[in-house]
Amino acid sequence: MHVEPVTLVCLSLATLFVAFLPISLYRRLRRPFLFDWRDTIAGIAVFALFATVIERALNGFLLHDNARSADFLTNPIAFVIYGALVAGVCEEVGRYIAMRMLARRGGRLSGSPQDSTGLAYGIGHGGAEAWFVGVLVQLQWIFFAVLANRGDLDGHLSNLTMDSVLRVHLILAELSPLHAGVFALERTAAFVFQIALSVLMWRGVQAGRKSILPIAILVHALIDVPAAMFQAGLLPLVAVDALYVSLAIVAAIVLFKTCAPRRSEARAA
């Protein structure tokens, strides 16, 4: 098993890009939007709790531990519906609770939207996703690739079953510069979506609209439908990625046009 050096270089560059994207965006927008670092920390904490703990525990129970639900969710349509809803419900409930707390801290639940909080929170939430789902996973595969090139991989994986070892070898064999590019595009698109969802939620909370929670869950679920369809074998990856990149570009343009720094001036008063 050998991973080409050019593939390792591309994977490393893509991983660095994803790792520094939220950090660089925060630094760039911090002053014009008067970010409060606590908003960003809240976003990181919510993703860590609701996505990596609660959502994973729920998936583990329904997809593996509970035989009845696991059997039911083998149906592709049922899996797509569940896969699209579970992330939306877990993450948006957490986002809603956090933003209600942030709004109370600021003493304002109505009036003109202060996109500063939504953007700062979104960078934290989306940045945590970029690191937990993207950077840390890719670092693991880069580490495995280096071990494979040294001939030490099987010894490092000696505590795994043969099926797991074969799966690792299969994934390493499929790594390529194209894989690195797809990874960077997917993580960037997901980051943009998280910021957009955060701004949407923050504006709804500030306006005092309780309906913003089901709306955000629905929007999040719709975004996750193509990914769930790919996992269920109903859509090819190229179609899913093309759709996500297109939607992310639209979302980024809307954010750029509607989130102006002047809307954060009231926060500095």
d(CA 48, CA 55): 10
Per-position pLDDT tens, the chain of length 269: 688 999 999 999 999 999 999 999 999 999 888 888 999 999 999 999 999 999 999 999 999 999 999 999 999 999 999 999 999 999 999 999 999 999 887 644 343 347 889 999 999 999 999 999 999 999 999 999 999 999 888 888 888 888 888 998 899 999 999 999 999 999 999 999 999 999 999 999 988 898 999 999 999 999 999 999 998 889 999 999 999 999 999 999 999 998 876 544 444 43
Sign (positive or negative) of CA dihedral 164, 169, 170, 176: positive
DSSP structure class, residue 65:
I
DSSP state of 257: H
Q: How far is CA 253 from CA 120, 163, 199, 245, 256, in A?
A: 18, 45, 14, 12, 5
Rounded to whole angstroms, the Cα distance separating 36 from 21 reads: 19
CA 49 – CA 179 distance, rounded (Å): 29
Closest CA to 96 of 41, 138, 57, 42: 42
User: Cα(140)–Cα(172) distance, rounded to whole angstroms?
Assistant: 11
pLDDT for residue 262: 54
The one-character DSSP state at 235 is: S
Assign 176 to helix, strand or coil. coil
Amino acid of residue 120: A
Report the distance separating Cα 28 and Cα 26, nearest Å: 5
Q: Residue 58 carries which side chain, given as an amino acid letter?
A: L
Query: What is the rounded (10 degree) CA torsion for 130, 133, 134, 139?
Result: 130
Yes or no: say if 105 and 39 are a contact pair by the CB < 8 Å rule: no
Range of the domain at 257: 5-268
Q: pTM higher than 0.85, yes or no?
A: yes
How many structural domains are present in the chain?
A: 1
